[in-house]
Amino acid sequence: MATPKKTVAKESGQEKAGSPPEFTREQELKALRDMLLIRRFEEKAGQLYGMGAIGGFCHLYIGQEAVVVGMQMALKQGDEVITGYRDHGHMLACDMEARGVMAELTGRRGGYSRGKGGSMHMFSKEKHFYGGHGIVGAQVSLGTGLAFANRYRGNDNVSVTYFGDGAANQGQVYESFNMAELWKLPVIYVIENNRYAMGTAVSRASAQQDFSKRGVSFNIPGKQVDGMDVRAVKAAADEATAWCRGGNGPMILEMQTYRYRGHSMSDPAKYRTREEVEKVRHDQDPIEQVRNRLLASGVSEQDLKAIDAEVREIVNEAADFAQHDPEPDPSELYTDIYR
């Protein structure tokens, strides 16, 4: 089995970035809180899955939190977000309520899709979150369509379309790249390269492992970004949103990141070593990075604990709701098929 040669982000190709621009304390605190919420939420989801309260597939986002949180910090009201099946973090980052997401995971009536979508299929029109898609790569052309609608309407919204290193090998991704550049659509393609497409390492599946270059033949600019550093993500997102809002067409951001858990809850993750995971956790954990900076800048341990406590309360309340909310009424079987 091939072992990936690269360490995350350290050898990022195109731009040898120095330190990204510093965050204000307020930004650091917000990033910490939002990332912690995702992590604690996902830990709880994993726990509920183990208890049998969540069924089917459940793909956890632990380790990748800096990507959505950093991206979201650069967006404005109206920008659309769409992603694949590893979507819980994206929803929380879009300010969707933890209890509604968790209740969908448990298949209850208070879930965002009233229990009919599950982990991989949730939406919020109000929060401009367009799913939650279970077919690998399908969201890329859908996200391009969201950008098409922005251009059609002449607004300055940007579609942020997330997909993984695995989806990046799907044909429709390139069909979408072509149209997006051809029509100068305002879409940021965020490739979350967590180094494994399910159990297949990038090196075993991708002829071109520098995903920022995947748009070269369409003239789409791309950047490799340290996806473990929320500041680097935010800086790249600022650049990309400005590029898109300026009418220049799409941009690709390859986020070099890592997932700590298996592909799904049923994945024993035998394709990589425990040491590899531990090393990333130890050296690059996105949350620890922020926490350490905050402590170094004089924020007290006490203050950080308060944030953790607030987040845990939200998550516990969500889990409680999700386990006690009733299942959908049987009549729901036949609703929402047509409107």
Q: How far apart are CA 148 and CA 264, in angstroms?
A: 32
Residues 181-200 close enough to bind other proteins by CB under 8 A? 182
Residue with tokens 């650049």: 239
136 vs 304, which CB is nearer to other proteins?
136
- Choose one: 64-72, 84-92, 144-152, 230-238; the region binding other proteins (CB under 8 A): 144-152
Among 175, 301, 327, 329, binds other proteins (CB under 8 A): 175
What value, to the nearest 5°, has the Cα angle with vertex 270 and ends 265 and 276? 100
Question: What pairs with residue 82 in β-bridges?
Answer: 161
Complete DSSP assignment for 212-232: GGTTGGGT--EEEEETT-HHH
**Sequence-separated (6 or more) residues with CB below 8 Å from residue 219:** 181
* Cα dihedral across residues 144, 146, 152, 157: positive or negative: negative
Question: What six digits make up the tokens of 181?
Answer: 């550049």
Q: Count of CB atoms within 10 A of residue 204's CB? A: 13
Among 140, 233, 280, 307, binds other proteins (CB under 8 A): 140
Question: What six digits make up the tokens of 304?
Answer: 């950080």
303 binds other proteins (CB under 8 A): no
Residues 55-84 close enough to bind other proteins by CB under 8 A? 80, 82
97 vs 276, which CB is nearer to other proteins?
97
Residue type, 65: E
113 vs 212, which CB is nearer to other proteins?
113
SS3 state at 9: coil
Among 64, 83, 113, 169, binds other proteins (CB under 8 A): 113
DSSP state of 111: S
* CB 235, min distance to other proteins, A: 28
**Sequence-separated (6 or more) residues with CB below 8 Å from residue 155:** 78
Residue type, 250: P
Strands (E), 41-126: 80-83
DSSP state of 136: T
312 binds other proteins (CB under 8 A): no
27 vs 172, which CB is nearer to other proteins?
172
Q: Count of CB atoms within 10 A of residue 332's CB? A: 13
- Choose one: 3-11, 137-145, 200-208, 224-232; the region binding other proteins (CB under 8 A): 137-145
338 binds other proteins (CB under 8 A): yes
Among 86, 114, 214, 234, binds other proteins (CB under 8 A): 114
124 binds other proteins (CB under 8 A): yes
222 binds other proteins (CB under 8 A): no
88 binds other proteins (CB under 8 A): no
121 binds other proteins (CB under 8 A): yes
Question: What six digits make up the tokens of 73?
Answer: 């910090």
166 binds other proteins (CB under 8 A): no
141 binds other proteins (CB under 8 A): yes
- Choose one: 21-29, 41-49, 86-94, 174-182; the region binding other proteins (CB under 8 A): 174-182
- Choose one: 7-15, 59-67, 124-132, 297-305; the region binding other proteins (CB under 8 A): 124-132
Q: Which residues bind other proteins (CB under 8 A)?
A: 80, 82, 111-117, 121-125, 130-135, 138, 140-150, 152, 171-172, 175-176, 178-179, 182, 335-339
